[in-house]
Structure 1
Amino acid sequence: MVLTVFLFIVAVGAVISVLGTAAGMLIWVTGGRILRWRTMEDTRPKQPNPYEAWLEREETAEGREQNRLRREARQGCWVGEAGRSRMH
């Protein structure tokens, strides 16, 4: 009787372990996508594409100048004297 109850508990534990492992592997393989609701995914705002914004600015002369200034400002933060003086 005690042995039967013990084996039943072990069997239930083994089944739960196998199911939990299978569920965990499914979540891992899908990158967690299986847990997200489809409606939540569809209503999220679309992230702006920085390349598309850059491409739109390239179409005009002042846009090209703006891109050049942005690029120089970004590079100045990391290289050269301007970048070094800003870090101190």
Structure 2
Amino acid sequence: MEGKKGIWRARWARIQRGWDLVFSGLLLVMGVTLFVALLPGLPDMIWNALTGDGEAVRTLFVGGAGVAVCVLQWRWRNAVYPHLRRDARGKRS
């Protein structure tokens, strides 16, 4: 009976690691998409922010923060998603 529990635990751990990888990958894609969407309007937003437009400043801040969160969660995904941390340790050995 214990052997079957171990098999299911291993499968469940693999499913959780896979889900964490998919989710972190989707967030990375969202960050890249946000960056690409903001890129064409960036010169105008910067100019408007420098001339005192509060909405442009807010858009730059929120867009930059969104891209940073998406990229940083990918960069440190082993710390953010604990199931991936175990997977990374196993590959080093």
TM (norm. structure 2) is 0.34
Higher relative contact order (CA 8 A, sep 6+): 2
Higher helix share: 2
CA radius of gyration, larger in = 1
